[in-house]
Amino acid sequence: MIVPTYAPGDWYAVVTDGSVVMLPPGVPLAAVQEVWASLRGGGTLTDQLQVLLAGGIAAMPPFALVAVGSREVRVVVRGDVEVVLVSAAGRRVVTGDRVATWTEETVEDVWTVAVRAPGAPGGDHLPVLSGTVRAGAVGVELRAVERQARRGATAPAHTNGERSRRQSRQAVTEVPGPPADDLAGERREPDQAATAPPEPERAAPEPAEPEPAAPE
């Protein structure tokens, strides 16, 4: 998630996740509210330009519009507002102080974005996820988001099979064994079975009757 930060100041900073608009303190409050509604509604930079062009080019105030995409940052600047972009290609400062309308640029692989109002003092930055604040500068850190995404992609993933095997091992170790008395009983049963009752003694055979003697 992209979490912009801002340093307190006099300008209006309209911020949402991935978009920043800086407007001077003299701009009508209705214009600030319309820009906020456009950002919240998913409007593009062209939609915000239409809001600022309502009174014509001559009446347009200085401003900075920044839209952060997945691979690039688009910037539209009018007046002496500065947008500083740091990327793999180096440091790029975009300003519109020497043009009649505005300056528009698109930069790829951006690491950080800093939007600075003219003459804004430095100061501590506070997080602002989404809202309208009075600011002199707004910063957006994109490299931290990229590092988090890389860590998430390289972290070892536990499969369902591994989780099931781990849960099975836990279940086996946690099954309570039978009471000691039952085990003792189980051990005694073989002894009782091995001690068989003695067989009854066989009766002695009766003596045979003598044969009768022969007559003389």
| pLDDT one-digit tens code per residue, 177-193 | 555 455 444 444 445 44
Q: Is residue 185 part of a domain?
A: no
Task: Give this prediction's pTM.
Answer: 0.67
| pLDDT one-digit tens code per residue, 119-138 | 887 788 999 999 999 999 99
- Please check the confidence at residue 66 and state whether its pLDDT lies above 60: yes
Nearest by Cα to 139 from 3, 4, 29 = 4
Q: Is residue 171 part of a domain?
A: no
What are the backbone angles phi and psi of residue 182, rounded to the nearest 5°?
A: -65, -40
Q: Is residue 44 part of a domain?
A: yes
Q: Is residue 45 part of a domain?
A: yes
Q: Is residue 78 part of a domain?
A: yes
Q: Is residue 38 part of a domain?
A: yes
Site of tokens 């940052």: 73
Q: Is residue 176 part of a domain?
A: no
Report d(CA 151, CA 40) in Å as an integer.
30
Domains contained in the chain, number: 1
State which residues form the domain around 78.
5-154
Q: Is residue 46 part of a domain?
A: yes
What residues contact 21, with CB distance under 8 A and at least 6 apart? 12, 13, 14, 15, 35, 39, 48, 63, 64, 65, 66
- Gap between the terminal Cα atoms of the chain: 137
